[in-house]
Amino acid sequence: MVLDLASIPLLWIGWLLGGMINTALLAVAWQAPKKLLTPAGYLHAWVLGVLIWGCLGWRGYVVIMAYFLAGSAVTRLGKARKEAAGIAEGRSGARGPENVWGSALTAAVCAGAIALLELAGSPLQAERWIPLLALAYVSSLSTKLSDTTASEIGKAYGQHTFLITTLRPVAAGTEGAISVEGTLAGVIGSAIIALVGLGVGLIGPWEIGLCLVSAFVATTVESLIGATLQTRLAWLTNEVVNGINTTIGALVALLLGLAGQLLA
C-alpha cells in the first residue's frame, strides 16, 4: 500500500470541520429542554460524530444523524402506554454511552475502513471495497433503526405479541417477542435509512433492497437470540446484542453486494 501524502492536508480539514460542527450541535443539544442523551452520552456521541465526519464527510454524517433523530423520535411514541406497562426505556429514553456504541460501533468500523482504504489502499482495492463498505455502513444503521422501530412500535401498539421460537402469546416487551405491527414498522424503519443512504449517494437504487433484506435477517436473528440466550447469559446485554445485530446486518449486505459484483 502507498500512502497518499497529498490527501493529508484535506484529511485534517475534514476532521477539524467535523469537530467544529459536532461541538456546535452539542452546545445546542445541551441547552435543549428535552434531553436525547445523558451527559456522558453526549460526549461519546461527539466522538462518534467527529469520527464519522472525519472518515466519511457530510454524507456519512447525514445518514447517522437520520438514524439518531428517527430512533429518538420512535422511542417516544406511545411513551405513556409503555411507561404504564413498565416496558419503556429507562432515563425517559435518554441514551448513554453504551447505547451510542452498541448502536453505531459497527458503522464506525466501516467508516474507519473506508478512510484507511482511501488514504493507503491501492486504486483497485478502493474501487472494489469502498462501495461494499459504504453499503455495509448504511445497512448497519438501517438494521438498527429497523430493530428500534420494530421494538418500540411493537411494545406500544402491538395487538398480539408472540415469542419468535414458539409463536405462543407473550407480554409486549418480552425478549424475543414479535408482532405484526412491529415487524411492518421495522421494514419501514430500515427503508428510511436506506433511502437516506441513496439520497446522499452512498448506495445505489438496487442496494436499497439489500439493506432491507439484511435488516430483516439481522433483526430476526436478534429476536432468536433474545428468546433463547439473552436471559441465560449475563454478559449478553441489550448493547451487546445490538452490536451483534448491526454486525450481522452489515455483513449480510456486504456479502450480498460482493456476490452482485462477482455476478455482474
pLDDT digits (tens, 9 = 90+) for 117-141: 988 767 778 888 999 999 999 999 9
Domain that holds residue 151: 5-263
Q: What are phi and psi of 15, to 5 degrees?
A: -65, -40
Q: Tell me if 200 sits within 8 A of 59, measured CB to CB.
A: yes
CA 219 to chain centre: 12
% of the chain surpassing 90 pLDDT: 62
**pLDDT value for 156:** 83
Task: Give the pLDDT score at 143.
Answer: 98
Residue 9 has pLDDT above 60, yes or no: no
Alpha-carbon span 260 to 206, nearest angstrom: 10
Q: What is the mean pLDDT of residues 221-226?
A: 93
State yes or no: pLDDT of 154 exceeds 70.
yes
**Rounded-to-integer distance, Cα 228 and Cα 195, Å:** 33
Q: What is the pLDDT of residues 67-118, one digit of tens each?
A: 999 998 898 887 666 665 555 555 555 788 999 999 999 999 999 999 999 8
Residue 37, helix vs strand vs coil:
strand
Task: Give me the DSSP letters along 222-260.
Answer: HHHHHHHTTTT-TT--HHHHHHHHHHHHHHHHHHHHHHH
| Weakest mean pLDDT among 54-68, 103-117, 152-166 | 152-166
**Residue 26, C-alpha cell as written in the block:** 452539542
**Mean pLDDT of all residues in the chain?**
88
pLDDT at 245: 97
Q: How many residues does the chain have?
A: 264
Task: Give the total number of structural domains in the chain.
Answer: 1
The residues, ordered by sequence, that sit 6+ positions from 186 with a Cβ below 8 Å of its Cβ are 146, 147, 149, 150, 153, 215, 216, 219
Query: Mean per-residue pLDDT for 193-218?
Result: 97
- Buried b / exposed e along 231-243 (16+ C-beta atoms within 10 A): eeeeebebbebbb
Q: Which of 40-44, 71-75, 99-103, 209-213 has the highest mean pLDDT?
A: 209-213
Residue 193 clears pLDDT 80, i.e. is over it:
yes
Is residue 222 within 8 Å of 176, Cβ to Cβ?
Answer: no
Contact 107, 247 (CB under 8 A): no
Highest mean pLDDT among 27-31, 41-45, 194-198: 194-198
Distance CA 32, CA 232 (A): 39
Residue 52 has pLDDT above 60, yes or no: yes
Helices 180-199, 207-228: inter-axial angle, 10-degree rounding: 140
